[in-house]
Amino acid sequence: MNVSAHIESVYAEVRRRNPGEPEFHQAAAEVLESLGPALDRHPEYAGAGIVERLVEPERQLMFRVPWVDDQGTVRVNRGFRVEFNSALGPYKGGLRFHPSVNLGIVKFLGFEQIFKNALTGMAIGGGKGGADFDPKGRSDGEIMRFCQSFMTELYRHLGEHTDVPAGDIGVGAREIGYLFGQYKRITNRYESGVLTGKPVAWGGSHARTEATGYGAVYFAQEMLATRGEGFDGRRVVVSGSGNVAVYAVEKVHALGGRVVACSDSSGYLVDENGIDLELLKEVKEVRRARLSAYAEARPAAVFSARGTVYDVRCDVALPCATQNELRREDAVALVKNGVRAVAEGANMPCTPEAVEVFREAGILFGPGKAANAGGVATSALEMQQNAARDTWSFEQTESRLAQVMRDVHTQCRATAEAYGTDADDYVLGANVSGFLRVAEAMLAQGVI
């Protein structure tokens, strides 16, 4: 069998069957390009149609979400849940509420989730969901009514052994609370494990809020250690200023690094003294203001509405905002300014052209499906606690998180060496490692 022709044929079919979904095409291409060595060594996967089945979701749900705003006006949004692959366990992946959400975005996120979840070594499949609803500027009452309407349709597809959503952009503890309340109301069952990201007081896990940001930093730390380096004394830039970015800043500072810049949709902020974490949290989490408010409160900081955070000199870059935010020109600027390592805290924040710049320059690059696996890993730990009606301490949960990230890093390097030529090729290592685990399960379970 000509493996290259087989992969090209699968990708051509992805594009034909999913028109107008560039993010999904990009995610599929990024994985498929890595699979040649694995398919060469395991021809049985081709015979069983593993790749063809892997790129096709097991189930795609799209539904109307009607709700009433505070003025009494009926609003209509569109809800989504893509249950992509359950070979390893119940579908697991977040819900995103943002105006940009469409079927292609959800499919890209769900496809990435398959491999990310497999890399954790836990029994969870891949899925993703959300709605084109914008929670910004909405009252608590409006958000509650939207969440209740959304769950009124979605509940029939969920279950702790079937599909377990979590939060994502626009879906935090408040939204999870409203969603869980409606699920409980409709089903008359208190199934703690049906949603993760809950507050600790009623079934949530310590360290879940911090997990994605902490995990990305742990992964970057492991990459740096392969070259005898660490965060101590390093300059770091973090894109974004949401949940992932805030806790990435926190962990970098704890490890001796200095985060000198972060960003939001209005621009970026440079604070050469190091980002004041408490002020950042107060501006973004309490006041829900723009980063310019940080600069107003801290005269030494400079806010700019032009350029990008990647123009700032740094040793480590952690893109933690959204997909395709770091472009080729940004990667060139980072390399020119001496970046040593890049770890994706967001899902697919680097364009393919940017990744190629990093690889050609020999920069350590941790793809999101490996580097930001800490969030879903801790969600799986929350599921374990819910199943046992148990609660772990923050220290116990963070210790498990750190070990998961070390294991993911080790697994990526070992697979890159076994199926490639360079242990630093984390893209190949992550893609092939996740693929092998899922493919073996799919092969064992037959053609379904």
Spatial contact of 222 and 409, defined as CB atoms under 8 Å apart: yes
Spatial contact of 142 and 108, defined as CB atoms under 8 Å apart: no
Q: How far, in Å, CA of 427 to CA of 2, rounded? A: 23
pLDDT at 259: 98
Determine how β-strand 235-239 pairs with β-strand 316-319.
Answer: parallel
Question: Residue 33 — pLDDT band, cuts 50, 70, 90?
Answer: very high
Q: How far, in Å, CA of 439 to CA of 28, rounded? A: 16
Q: How far, in Å, CA of 322 to CA of 347, rounded? A: 6
In a domain? residue 294: yes
Q: How far, in Å, CA of 380 to CA of 126, rounded? A: 12
DSSP letters for 133-195? ---TT--HHHHHHHHHHHHHHHGGG-BTTTEEEEEBTTB-HHHHHHHHHHHHHHH----GGGS
Residues 136 and 215 in one domain: no
Provide the number of structural domains found in the chain: 3
In a domain? residue 36: yes
Residues 357 and 251 in one domain: yes
User: If you count DSSP H runs as helices and E runs as strands, how many of each does the chain have, helices first?
Assistant: 18, 12
**CATH code where residue 277 lies:** 3.40.50.720
- Residue that is last in its domain, among 14, 36, 56: 56
- Spell out the residues 6+ positions from residue 28 whose beta carbon is closer than 8 angstroms to its own: 11, 14, 55, 111
Q: How far, in Å, CA of 217 to CA of 366, rounded? A: 10
Q: How far, in Å, CA of 44 to CA of 132, rounded? A: 41
Span between the terminal Cα atoms of the chain, in Å = 23
Residues 242 and 354 in one domain: yes
- Residue that is last in its domain, among 371, 393, 413: 371
Closest by CA position to 132, among listed 110, 107, 153, 102? 102
Residues 176 and 292 in one domain: no
Spatial contact of 129 and 80, defined as CB atoms under 8 Å apart: yes
Give the predicted TM-score (pTM) of the model.
0.95
Per-residue model confidence as pLDDT tens digits over 43-59:
999 999 999 999 999 99
At residue 105, does pLDDT exceed 80? yes
**CATH code where residue 182 lies:** 3.40.50.10860
Question: Residue 194 — pLDDT band, cuts 50, 70, 90?
Answer: very high
Residues 365 and 217 in one domain: yes
Determine how β-strand 125-131 pairs with β-strand 302-304.
Answer: unpaired
Give catalytic residue positions.
Answer: 128
**Cα angle: 128, vertex 134, 139; to 5 degrees:** 120
pLDDT at 288: 86
Determine how β-strand 258-264 pairs with β-strand 235-239.
Answer: parallel
Per-residue model confidence as pLDDT tens digits over 409-438:
999 999 999 999 899 999 999 999 999 999
Residues 229 and 286 in one domain: yes
- Residue that is last in its domain, among 346, 371, 396: 371
Mean pLDDT within 163-168: 97
Residues 255 and 338 in one domain: yes
Residues 364 and 223 in one domain: yes
Mean pLDDT over each residue of the chain, to the nearest integer: 97
In a domain? residue 156: yes
At residue 1, does pLDDT exceed 80? no
pLDDT at 285: 87
Residues 5 and 75 in one domain: no
In a domain? residue 393: no
What range defines the domain where residue 221 resides?
A: 209-371
Residues 91 and 223 in one domain: no
Per-residue model confidence as pLDDT tens digits over 313-371:
999 999 999 999 999 999 999 999 999 999 999 999 999 999 999 999 999 999 999 99
Per-residue model confidence as pLDDT tens digits over 66-97:
999 999 999 999 999 999 999 999 999 999 99
Residues 70 and 31 in one domain: no
Determine how β-strand 74-85 pairs with β-strand 364-366.
Answer: unpaired
In a domain? residue 439: no
Tokens of 208: 């879940």
Residues 307 and 216 in one domain: yes
pLDDT at 317: 98
Q: How far is CA 256 from the centre of its chain?
A: 25
Q: How many CA atoms lie within 13 A of 284 on its CB side?
A: 22
In a domain? residue 327: yes
In a domain? residue 123: yes
Closest by CA position to 159, among listed 81, 104, 105, 53? 81
In a domain? residue 420: no
Tell me the one-letter amino acid at 6.
Answer: H
How many residues are present in the chain? Answer: 448
